[in-house]
Structures are given as C-alpha cells and as structure tokens.
Amino acid sequence: MIVDDKKQYHTGLTRSQIGNAEFAILPGDPGRVPELAKALDKNARAIHMHREYNSWVAVIDSVPVLVCSTGIGGPSTAIAVEELAQLGVKNFIRVGTTGSIQKNIEFGDIVISLAAVRLDGASTHYAPIEYPAVASLWLTNALVNAAKQLGIPFHVGITASSDTFWPGQERYDNYSGYVLRRFQGSVEEWRKLNVTNFEMEAATLFTMCSAFGLSAACLCGVIAKRTESEEVNLEAYAMAFSRLAKIIRGAITNHPNYL
C-alpha cells in the first residue's frame, strides 16, 4: 500500500522528500552513498540519514533516482524495501561488492544476478523456501545491455545470498575457526552448481519484490577471487565501483521502460 506523505519510521523518508522517485539504488554501506549518488549525478543531494539508511537523490535524464543504503544483510534490506515501496518506489537495484567462486571471473568484473540461492532467513518471512528468488527480467536485461554497450566485462549467473559473512560462506578465518557441518564443503558444491558469487542481500530483495509485484535487479563488483584467496583487492574496488555506476546510469538512461 502506497502512503501519502507519511514519514517512514526507519528510513525517515517521505514521498515528497524523495522526489516521487520510482527507482531506488541500494548499496549496503551508508558510506558509499554520497560517492555513488555523485557518480550518477554531480548535483545529487543528501536528503536524510537515520540508522543504516543514508539517502540521497540523484537525477538521471530528468528521472529522479533515490540512492539509499540498506546496511548489511536481509533484515535491514527488508525494512528498506518495505518502506520505500510504501513511498511509491517500484524498481530496486542492489549494488555492491562480492567474492567470486568461479575461476573465470576476474577482479573488477561485474556479476549481474539472474537469481539467488536463499541462504538467508528474512526471505522466508515473505514466501516459503520453495518460492524462487529471481530478478526482474526487464530490469536485469537493462543492466546487461548497458554493460554490453559500455564494453564492461560482466557475467550473468546465480548468486548465493548468505545471512552470515563467515560460516554461511564457508570462511574459516572466523573467531572459532569452525564452520557448521552443513556448510562444510558448500563453496565447492555451489561452484559445481554454477553459482557465480556470494553476497548477503539479493535473495531477500528478489523474493520480496517478486511477491510484491515490483522489479528488482542486482549487480556486484568482484573484489575477491575465492578460487585463489580470501584477500580483498582494494585496487579492484575502485575499478568495480566506477563500472557499477556507469552501468546503472546507462540502464536507466537507455531503457524504454524506465518511466
């Protein structure tokens, strides 16, 4: 249900405040919002900050676009999607960083998610586990077409969305050094099933938006190659960030369904 101009409890936003935007770009980190918004529109402006939700508005070819951080993981993402949907946002694009688990995916490459493995818990509050977490076809195609036009290296595949950064993604450099038996060997299993990468929000976003009749897509820049090590490549981050912003801008500018 779309509300009038009621201020939302968690994000602190109102419909008029976001310029009646129907597009939302959703990075996880509040600190990434200003740089991303300005990359989309040099005149982008901050509108509100509350908890993990840092919100800016950019304008791309006269189209208002909200850039709002979600924090890490499904629960805080679910809150953002709930409140933004009530303000009239219809199209959600998650943007972030990721670790690849396929050897052919290089540092700085972009992974565009077709669907997500539901290793989260939040999505089960919106649909049973049998319900697929799939991206919007038209919005995903818009990102793919933009990446092609820009000549940016990208991969389209299935993403694994985990509620945890360490055990759920089978990382052993955690405090205890132990990973539950159900996750031991899971990275190799997902690799064999052609899963491309790990992140923490896409499954919740895709499930919610499908259940709500909204559109969702996800693209992430590769900053870790887990086929080689667990180390983050900071140089790859700068490259990936620039590419992500260009693809998003291209997708919104060029796609005929954006209004």
Structure tokens at 259: 């209004």
The Cα–Cα gap between 255 and 227 comes to 35
Domains of the chain: 23-254 (3.40.50.1580)
Per-residue confidence (pLDDT) for residue 259, from 0 to 100: 43
User: Which residue, among 237, 241, 211, 206, has the nearest Cα to 224 in the 3D structure?
Assistant: 237
Task: Give which of 88, 73, 111 is closest to 202, Cα–Cα.
Answer: 73
Average pLDDT over residues 214-227: 98
Give the catalytic positions in this structure.
10, 83, 171, 226
Q: Can you tell me the mean pLDDT for 155-170?
A: 98
Q: For residue 124, give the DSSP letter.
A: G
Confidence of residue 254 (pLDDT cuts 50, 70, 90): confident
pLDDT class of 238 with cuts at 50, 70, 90: very high
21-32 pLDDT per residue, tens? 999 999 999 999
Residue with tokens 């997500």: 116
- Would you give the distance in Å from CA 198 to the centre of its chain? 12
Closest CA to 193 of 256, 125, 119: 119
- What would the pLDDT profile of 126-159 be if each residue is shown by its tens digit? 999 999 999 999 999 999 999 999 999 999 999 9
Q: Do the strands 45-50 and 110-119 form a parallel or antiparallel pair, or are they unpaired?
A: unpaired
pLDDT of residue 5: 78
